[in-house]
Amino acid sequence: MQSLWMLVSAFMFTLMGLFIKLAANEYNTGEIVLYRSLIGVIVLLVMARLRGQSIRTRHLGSHVKRSAAGVISLGLWFFSLTQLPLSTAMTLNYMSPIWISLIVMGTAAMRGSLRTDFRLVAAIFAGFVGVALLLQPTIDSQAWVAGVAGVVSGVFSAVAYMQVKELGAAGEPDWRIVFYFSAGGVLLGLAWVAVEGLHPMTWRGAGLMLGVGIAALIAQTALTRAFSLGNTLVTANLQYSGVIFATLISMLVWGDWPALAGWIGMLLIVASGMTALRRPSPSA
């Protein structure tokens, strides 16, 4: 099942997050965005040249929409990360599967053929409850702007993923979709560092940035393949596995063990994912 590529994506995004956390003391957010995206652009350009492929596309408008939505989502999420507790920012960003399910149902309703598997949608909402139990988000009344940014980040993320689905249906290869998104990230990173500046590169920092870039490239490619070739709602549901991977890495690296509610949340996420895989709804 093509949707299972989301598990690869979630794991690689978790590794990317680990590298970012380790590099946070050496580089600002704009630098991380820039290096992460630039490495992807360079690797994909080299691979395309070796394979005799071209970055030219007949779907430039769709790529611009996907890249714009993805870059806006990334920027808003990083802003919420700086203003909110990590658990809260992650929970708000992980609302994107819920927005995806609402978009899918709304689109089906407008077409007059609401064929969405509502039990699968229920599994998505149950998975989000599991995320909330595991991360236990809190938000200060003074940080409502950052909270709104986190919610809107999830919305734009959902829009970007739906655009990936359309590009895949149009026959656009996954590497080209990732290339144009990475190019958008380079532009965002350049604008960001123009304001915040650049720090000197160290060998340790270079290694961490390389890890960020390669992990992000693999994660984005797997995510693109999952959304473009797999079932939209099943793929969206499997995104929640990233929270479990992040929790396991936190346990192994920093010794952060979840409370009882967190374990219940993980079981709920796993049950939700298994329900999604056993109920392949009509392709959305």
Domain parsing of the chain, residue ranges:
2-278
> Residue 142: what pLDDT?
65
Which DSSP category does 91 fall into?
H
Q: Tell me the three state secondary structure of residue 34.
A: helix
Consecutive 10-residue averages of pLDDT for the chain (284 residues): 89 87 84 93 96 93 92 82 69 81 78 67 86 77 78 90 91 94 94 92 93 94 92 87 84 81 87 73 50
- Torsions phi, psi of 60, nearest 5? -60, -40
Cα distances (angstroms) measured from residue 249 to each of 17, 36, 243, 254, 269: 10, 21, 10, 8, 17
> Residue 203: what pLDDT?
93
CA–CA separation, 284 and 115 (whole Å): 9
Burial (Cβ within 10 Å: 0-12, 13-18, ≥19) of residue 168: buried
> Residue 149: what pLDDT?
86
> Residue 114: what pLDDT?
57
> Residue 137: what pLDDT?
73
CA–CA separation, 143 and 89 (whole Å): 11
> Residue 210: what pLDDT?
96
Token pair recorded at residue 228: 């473009």
CA–CA separation, 227 and 156 (whole Å): 15
Q: How many CB atoms lie under 10 A from the CB of residue 199?
A: 12
> Residue 108: what pLDDT?
72
Cα distances (angstroms) measured from residue 161 to each of 18, 78, 95, 129: 23, 18, 13, 21
CA–CA separation, 139 and 160 (whole Å): 26
Collect all residues with Cβ–Cβ distance below 8 Å to 21 and sequence separation of at least 6: none
> Residue 250: what pLDDT?
79
Q: How many CB atoms lie under 10 A from the CB of residue 126?
A: 17
The pTM score is: 0.86
> Residue 16: what pLDDT?
87
> Residue 116: what pLDDT?
60
Helix or strand holding residue 77 (H, E): helix 60-83
Q: Are 146 and 84 in contact (CB under 8 A)?
A: yes
Residue whose C-alpha is closest to residue 97's, from 131, 72, 74: 131
> Residue 29: what pLDDT?
82
Q: Are 89 and 150 in contact (CB under 8 A)?
A: yes
